[in-house]
């Protein structure tokens, strides 16, 4: 399947209510034709008085690869984990640090979500 904005809107809403308590506002959603990544969360950062705030979130998914529905859902959930961490202002040790892995493991164990730490496309011949 090739991801569409409509698909992203539908599944973002479903996942938000089912996994994140319905507290995530829908960010700007976009499509890319990237070969090197399946999904991405971008944002702006502002620092004031020693505090950093993230804003203007954009969640994008690649249309370059024909993913299965399960793979696409896993990519979306992966990016939504990044989003909830940034949106709520949680601090993590790295992009896929302790907080990210904890949320990923929780979703995988409770919902068999199939989320992976890395969302890169398969290599040729693999």
Question: How does pLDDT run across 73-106, given as a tens digit for each residue?
Answer: 999 999 999 999 999 989 898 999 999 999 999 9
Q: What is the pLDDT confidence band of residue 21, given thresholds at 50, 70 and 90?
A: very high
- SS3 annotation, the chain: CCCCHHHHHHHHHHHHHHHCCCCCCCCEEEEECCCCCCEEEEEEEEEECCEEEEEEEEEEEECCCCCCHHHHHHHHHHHHHHHHHHHHCCCCCCCCCHHHHHHHHHHHHHHCCCCCCCCCCCCCCC
Q: What is the pLDDT confidence band of residue 37, given thresholds at 50, 70 and 90?
A: very high
Q: What is the pLDDT confidence band of residue 20, given thresholds at 50, 70 and 90?
A: very high
Q: Is the pLDDT of residue 35 over 70?
A: yes
Q: Is the pLDDT of residue 121 over 70?
A: no
């Amino acid at each position: 399947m090739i991801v569409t904005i409509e698909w992203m809107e539908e599944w973002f809403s479903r996942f938000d209510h089912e996994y994140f308590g319905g507290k995530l506002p829908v960010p700007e959603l976009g499509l890319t034709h990237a070969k090197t990544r399946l999904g991405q969360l971008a944002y702006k950062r502002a620092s004031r008085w020693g505090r950093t705030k993230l804003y203007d979130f954009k969640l994008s998914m690649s249309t370059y690869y024909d993913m299965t529905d399960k793979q696409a859902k896993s990519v979306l959930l992966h990016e939504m984990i990044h989003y909830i961490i940034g949106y709520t202002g949680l601090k993590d040790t790295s992009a896929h640090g302790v907080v990210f892995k904890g949320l990923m493991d929780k979703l995988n164990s409770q919902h068999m979500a199939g989320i992976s730490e890395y969302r890169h496309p398969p290599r040729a011949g693999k």
